Amino acid sequence: MKTAQLPPVRVEPSVRAEIESVLRQGETLSQFVEQATVQAAQRRKAQQEFLERGRESLERAERSGRYYSVSDALDAMQARLDGRLGNKRDSAASS
């Protein structure tokens, strides 16, 4: 597969120095920039998907007329979290 280049980015010398100060051993500036760019794109995609799910949920609620209170939603999320944490505890205890 052929690789592509990102456009060069101009930054203040202090920004470059700050980035270089946190590079891991053997890591290049190019590797850091590539990883940071990929992670930023993944975050934005996740944000877009989250917003889309929210819009779809609102549309379903408006169509059905069924809405849930904040406390109901939080209680449901807490129950899911408790269930997941319980499963992890159970798995750890049986190991």
Per the structure, the count of domains in the chain is: 2
Q: Could you report the per-residue pLDDT of 47-79, keeping only the tens digit for each?
A: 999 999 999 999 999 999 999 899 999 999 999
Q: Determine the pLDDT at residue 14.
A: 98
Query: Quick check: is 85 in a domain?
Result: yes
Query: Quick check: is 73 in a domain?
Result: yes
Does residue 76 share a domain with residue 49? no
Integer Cα distance of 78 and 65 in angstroms: 24
Query: Quick check: is 17 in a domain?
Result: no
Does residue 56 share a domain with residue 78? no
Q: Whose CA is closest to 18, among 32, 5, 34, 35?
A: 32
Query: Quick check: is 40 in a domain?
Result: yes
Q: Is the pTM of this model over 0.85?
A: no
Query: Quick check: is 57 in a domain?
Result: yes
Query: Quick check: is 4 in a domain?
Result: no
Alpha helices in 9-95, H assignment, sequence order = 13-20, 29-64, 70-94
Q: Are 41 and 32 in contact (CB under 8 A)?
A: no
pLDDT bracket for residue 36 (50, 70, 90): very high
By residue range, what is the domain housing residue 48? 28-64
φ, ψ at 17 (rounded to 5°): -60, -40
